[in-house]
Amino acid sequence: MESPTISIGELNLQDTELRLGLPGSDEPEKRCNVGSKRKCSPEEESTGNRSDAKSDHNQSDNNGPPAKAQVVGWPPVRSFRRNSVQQKKEEEGGRYVKVSMAGAAYLRKIDLKVYKSYPQVLKALENMFKCTFGEYSEREGYNGSEYVPTYEDKEGDWMLVGDVPWDMFTCSCKRLRIIKASEAKGLGCL
């Protein structure tokens, strides 16, 4: 027999919670796979968190009332099917953004949420596209590099990565594009 241990997850708060449903029906609002290697869309992450603001995320685009916390695995739609259709909406919120590079045949995608600062995301881009960016300065942009990271913001303007405070960048960035330094003249702040 296992020795009984009670973890936080076991305090049965479900009993005191008000919800719809027939009496006796157990609605498991919990994650079944702790440490799932599957990348979670914010929608999946909200599962099981009762007062999680993220569960409102889907509704905020629809201007509807916030959705109640979702039940695991319901409705029975496979996760990749949710992800691909939902991801388009997420992109407007600025999390997953496409990254293209002048001359590269295919697009990549990065999750801005993963990074905490400009140096981090720039490093990631450098690794991804095997290029280097120079030193960034407010006045002169990226000095001395062949390539320069730019992004399109919510207003449709193309800006130099680094021009605005980090938080503003992650909210407003719609997509990234790495262009040749020669094309960068005349962008944004210069």
Partner 1 sequence: MRVNQVEVPRDENGSSILDLARADIAESSTKTRNCAACPGSGSGSMEFQSPYPDQVLENVLENVLHFLTARRDRNAASLVCKSWYRAEALTRSELFIGNCYAVSPRRATSRFTRVRSVAIKGKPRFADFDLMPINWGALFSPWVAAMAKAYPWLEKVYLKRMTVTDEDLVLLSESFPCFKELVLVCCDGFGTSGLAAVAGRCRQLRVLDLVESEVDDDDVEWLSYFPESQTHLESLVFDCLQFAVNFDALEKLVARSPSLKKLRLNGSVTTPQLYRLITQAPQLTHLGTGSFGALEAVAAGDQEPDYASAFAACKSLVCLSGFREIFPDYLPAIYPVCTSLTSLNFSYANINAEHLKSVICLCHKLQTLWVLDSICDEGLQAVAATCKDLRELRVFPENPNEDVEGPVSEVGLQAISEGCNKLQSILYFCQRMTNAAVVAMSKNCPDLVVFRLCIIGRYRPDAVTGEPMDEGFGAIVMNCKKLTRLAVSGLLTDRAFSYIGKYGKLVRTLSVAFAGDTDMGLKYVLEGCHNLQKLEIRDSPFGNEALHSGLHHYYNMRFVWMSSCKLTRHACQEVARALPHLVVEVIRSQGERNDDSVEILYMYRSLDGPRSDAPQFVTIMQ
Applying CB under 8 A, the residues found at the interface with partner 1 are: 2, 4-5, 7, 9-10, 20-22, 24-28, 30-38, 44, 58-59, 62, 64-65, 67-68, 70-82, 84-85, 88, 98, 100, 105-109, 152, 175, 177
Q: And the tokens for 53? A: 């603001």
CA distances from 128 to 108, 123, 178, 188 (A): 9, 9, 11, 25
Identify whether the C-beta of residue 99 lies closer than 8 Å to the C-beta of residue 125: yes
Nearest-approach distance from CB 188 to partner 1, in angstroms: 18
Nearer to partner 1, 29 or 163 (CB): 29
Least distance CB 137 / partner 1 (angstroms): 28
Smallest gap, in angstroms, from Cβ of residue 138 to partner 1?
Answer: 27
* Residue among 126 and 152 whose Cβ is closer to partner 1: 152
Q: Is the bond into 75 cis (omega within 30 degrees of 0)?
A: yes
| Least distance in angstroms from the C-beta of 136 to partner 1 | 24
Comparing CB distances to partner 1, the nearer of 55 and 145 is 55
Do 109 and 83 contact (CB within 8 A), yes or no? no
CA-based nearest residue to 159, from 168, 150, 167? 150
Query: Looking at beta carbons only, is 79 or 132 nearer to partner 1?
Result: 79
- Which among 172, 184, 183 has a CA at the least distance from the CA of 97? 172
Amino acid identity of residue 32, one-letter, is: C
